[in-house]
Amino acid sequence: MDSVTHLKPLVSVVIATYNGELYLKEQIDSIINQTYQNIEIIVVDDYSTDHTRIVLEEYALRYTNIHLDLSKTNKGHVKTFERGFELCKGDFIAPCDQDDIWLPNKIEELLKNIGNHPLIYCDSELIHSDGMSMNLKLSDIKRLKDLDSPLNYAIGGSVAGHAMLIRRETVVDCFPFPESIPHDYWLGFVATFSGSLKFYAHALVKYRQHANNTVGVNAGKVKAKRNILSKSDKNELKLKKMQLLASKCPEKLKDTKRSFNKLHESYMSFSFVNNCKRISVFLKHWEDITAYKKKNEIRRFLFCLKSFYQIY
């Protein structure tokens, strides 16, 4: 590593693996071949039972900047990423899936454009399991834009973890990560406390869609994995999520925290009073709450009207 590289900030790439032998080499190769070279690669394996660990150990022997943490039990996706974030030494952190392909200039471009933002994220090109393009970008399916309010995360989000570059101090503010909320959702939500999230409108990741995605997108024949839960169980999860968002939102954001607390109260039952509370927040902040939806303004506003009799 030359003296010029030492002057550049260290970027920590965090990969959470679990039975990912099929696509893992292609993903790691795309990270190693980044044009920005001052990186460390933290890989936390969640007790894989296939050949994932063999692949990882081969790479760790070849590259001194790859560091492995091999779990002795299965901790789940969120806690595996949390462990990886704990091990980071970089000024910036880039979460990474085990089955995508990064364009060579991904880290360089995001680092160059992050400015004073706590988080920057890029667009992604969707590819089939065999690596062939689906001729779709994530921005064709979700509304990707600059975000500046925690209420952008009240019911949904569009900032994918594989597309992020985040400041270390922002990630530290996220601890502990709740297991019931995806790690990238939590990262984006907490990042809005300290500034706006920057969208870089170029696809710098090839986002692979296949049957074993932990999270996927509804595009063509590819469907996101969904747990089969009863309506009451789903509502209980939504209530828990709103409670976590409301409690995490800082007191310094008084009006926003008040809105989250009001939403949390409204999720407790379908009483007339709670329904009125819920729709009042949705209508007051409809632009922020529906910021992630790929719909026109009229349809987004109508979506909010349904909150009177529906918990999202």
Cα(54)–Cα(59) distance, rounded to whole angstroms?
9
Residue 215's pLDDT band (cuts 50, 70, 90): low
Determine the pLDDT at residue 244: 98
Q: How confident is the model at residue 211 (pLDDT cuts 50, 70, 90)?
A: confident
Compute the mean pLDDT over every residue in the chain, rounded to the nearest whole number: 94
Domain ranges for the chain, please list them: 3-208, 231-308
Those residues whose C-beta lies under 8 Å from the C-beta of residue 306, and which sit 6 or more positions away, are none
Q: Report the C-alpha gap between 172 and 216 in whole angstroms.
A: 27
How far is it, in rounded angstroms, from Cα 191 to Cα 122? Answer: 16
Q: Is the domain defined by 3-208 classed in CATH 3.30.70.2740?
A: no
- Beta-carbon neighbour count of residue 246 at 10 Å? 21
Pair of tokens at residue 48: 């894989």
Decide if pLDDT at 18 tops 70. yes
Report pTM. Answer: 0.94
- The string of pLDDT tens digits covering residues 158-204 is 999 999 999 999 999 999 999 999 999 999 999 999 999 999 999 99
pLDDT tens-digit profile of 33-53?
Answer: 999 999 999 999 999 999 999
Element holding 176 (H helix, E strand): none
Rg (CA), the chain: 20
Closest Cα partner for 199 from 158, 168, 150, 169? 158
